[in-house]
Amino acid sequence: MSPQYSRVERMNYLSSKKLRVLAGAVAVASCAVLAMPNAQAAPAAVQAERPVPGVIDTPANVPNAGRDAGWTAAKALAAVKNNKLYATGNIAASKCKRPAVALNTEKNVRYFESELVRCMYAAWKPNLWRMGARWDVKPALVVHGYNTVNSACGSVTGWTSFYCSYRGGTIYIPWRQLVTYYAQNPTFAVAYATNTIAHEYGHHIQSMTGILTASHWRGSHMTYDASLAESRRRELQASCLGSAYIGANKAYYPMSGGLLTEWKWVVSHSGDQPGYPRDHGSWTNHNYWSLAGFTGNGKNTHPGSCQTWSAPATRIA
Ligand SMILES: [Zn+2]
C-alpha cells in the first residue's frame, strides 16, 4: 500500500519570546513576527503570524486514499497546477453574518469558530460538487486551551492554529490566543480570527481536492530549496482560497470599514520572517495572493484566482 500522509498545516502567531525559544528548537515551525496595529493598550509587540506548514508526517488511514494514492511526478504536478478546482467558478456568498459574540471566553470562541466552519462548508460545497467531487466533508473543529495539543498529525505546542488532514480533516484553534488579542484590540482579533480559520479551511479545500497530498508528495521528492518554494505555493494558495471565501461573503459579514482595515493589515503583515525558513512567502506576496482571492474578478471571487503553481517565481518568493 502506498503510504498516506496527514499533515499539520498551521498558522502561527507567536510572541517574540516564544520565537526565540522556538529558534533553538527549530524543526517544527517557522514564524513571522508582526506587531499589533495600534497597540496603545498592548505594550508588548505581539507577534507573528502566519501559515506555517508542519513537518509532521504521520502515516494515517485517510478515507480518500484512493484519490491520493499512487502519485507520480506527472500526476502530482497536474493535481496542483491543473486541478479541476480552478475551473469551478464563483464561490457563493454564505450570507453568514459575523457571529455576534465577543471573543472573550472559550465558549464564545468555540461558537464563533464553529459558525465560520459551518458557513465555509456551505459556501465551498457547490464548488467541490461542480468539479465532480463527491467526497466533500465538513472538517472537524477543535477549539482548545492546551499548551500542547495532540493531533493525529502529532503534537503541536504553542498558540498555533493548524490543519491536520487525517480522516476528514480537523482544524485546531487555540482559544486563549484570540481572547488575549480581543482584550487588546477587538477588531483586530476578529479580523485575525476570521482570516486564520479561512486560511485553515483553505488547506481543507486543498485536502479535499488532492492538492494537499500531491504538494506534500512533490515536496518530499525535491531539494530542500525547491521544497520551500513548494511550501510557499501551498501556503499562499491556502491564504488566497481563504480570502476568496471572505471576499465572496464580504457584503454579508460584513467585511468592511474598520474590520476590513484590520484584515488588510493582517494579510499584509503575514509571511516569512528573517532568520526563519522561507516556507510561506514574503509579506508582499502574502498580501498579493490574499487580495487576489478577496477581489476575484471584481464582482465575484473564485478559486481560479489562486493558481500559485502557475505563478512566476517572483510571485511565490
Ligand atoms: Zn497554512
Q: What's the CA-to-centroid distance between 280 and ligand 1, angstroms?
A: 8
pLDDT digits (tens, 9 = 90+) for 11-47: 443 333 333 223 222 222 222 233 333 222 222 222 3
Check residue 70 and give its pLDDT: 82
Q: How are beta strands 160-164 and 5-12 bridged, if at all? A: antiparallel
Q: What's the CA-to-centroid distance between 267 and ligand 1, angstroms?
A: 13
Over residues 197-208, the mean pLDDT reads: 95
Residue 299 is classified by DSSP as S
Task: Confirm if 90 and 130 have CB atoms less than 8 A apart.
Answer: no
Which grid coordinates are listed for 105? 471566553
pLDDT band at 89 (very low <50, low <70, confident <90, very high): very high
Q: What's the CA-to-centroid distance between 200 and ligand 1, angstroms?
A: 6
Rounded to an integer, what distance in angstroms lies between the CA atom of residue 148 and that of residue 241? 28
Burial of 72 from C-beta contacts in 10 A (0-12 / 13-18 / 19+): exposed
Over residues 52-80, the mean pLDDT reads: 58
pLDDT band at 5 (very low <50, low <70, confident <90, very high): very low
Over residues 271-281, the mean pLDDT reads: 87
Q: What's the CA-to-centroid distance between 237 and ligand 1, angstroms?
A: 9
Task: Confirm if 164 and 21 have CB atoms less than 8 A apart.
Answer: no
- Please state, for a pLDDT cut of 70, what percent of the chain lies above it: 78
Strands (E), the chain: 5-12, 50-59, 140-144, 148-151, 154-157, 160-164, 170-174
Check residue 159 and give its pLDDT: 86
Q: What's the CA-to-centroid distance between 73 and ligand 1, angstroms?
A: 23
Rounded to an integer, what distance in angstroms lies between the CA atom of residue 214 and that of residue 178? 32
pLDDT digits (tens, 9 = 90+) for 115-164: 999 999 999 999 999 998 877 789 999 999 999 999 888 888 888 888 99
Check residue 245 and give its pLDDT: 98
Task: Confirm if 172 and 149 have CB atoms less than 8 A apart.
Answer: yes
Check residue 9 and give its pLDDT: 59
Task: Confirm if 11 and 52 have CB atoms less than 8 A apart.
Answer: yes
Q: Which residues contact 123 (CB under 8 A, 6 or more apart)?
A: 91, 92, 93, 94, 245, 248, 249
Check residue 22 and give its pLDDT: 30
Phi, psi of 143 (to 5 degrees): -100, 115
Q: What's the CA-to-centroid distance between 162 and ligand 1, angstroms?
A: 7
Q: Using alpha carbons only, how large is the chain's radius of gyration in Å?
A: 18
Instruction: Look at 255 and 165; give whichever has higher pLDDT.
Output: 255
Q: What's the CA-to-centroid distance between 87 and ligand 1, angstroms?
A: 23
Instruction: Look at 291 and 276; give whichever has higher pLDDT.
Output: 291
Strands (E), 152-217: 154-157, 160-164, 170-174
Question: For all residues of the chain together, what is the average pLDDT?
Answer: 81
Q: What's the CA-to-centroid distance between 120 and ligand 1, angstroms?
A: 16
Rounded to an integer, what distance in angstroms lies between the CA atom of residue 24 and that of residue 280? 20
Over residues 159-188, the mean pLDDT reads: 92
Q: What's the CA-to-centroid distance between 238 and ligand 1, angstroms?
A: 6
Q: Which residues contact 122 (CB under 8 A, 6 or more apart)?
A: 94
Question: In which domain, by residue range, is 96 found?
Answer: 5-316
Q: What's the CA-to-centroid distance between 32 and ligand 1, angstroms?
A: 13
Q: Does residue 54 surpass a pLDDT of 60?
A: no
Over residues 102-110, the mean pLDDT reads: 98
The CB density around residue 51, as the number of other CB atoms within 10 Å, is 33
Looking at the structure of the chain, the number of domains it has is 1
Range from 70-79, 88-97, 125-134 that averages highest in pLDDT: 88-97
- What is Dmax (Cα atoms) for the chain? 56
Q: What's the CA-to-centroid distance between 304 and ligand 1, angstroms?
A: 19
Check residue 126 and give its pLDDT: 96
Instruction: Look at 171 and 134; give whichever has higher pLDDT.
Output: 171
Q: What's the CA-to-centroid distance between 271 and ligand 1, angstroms?
A: 10
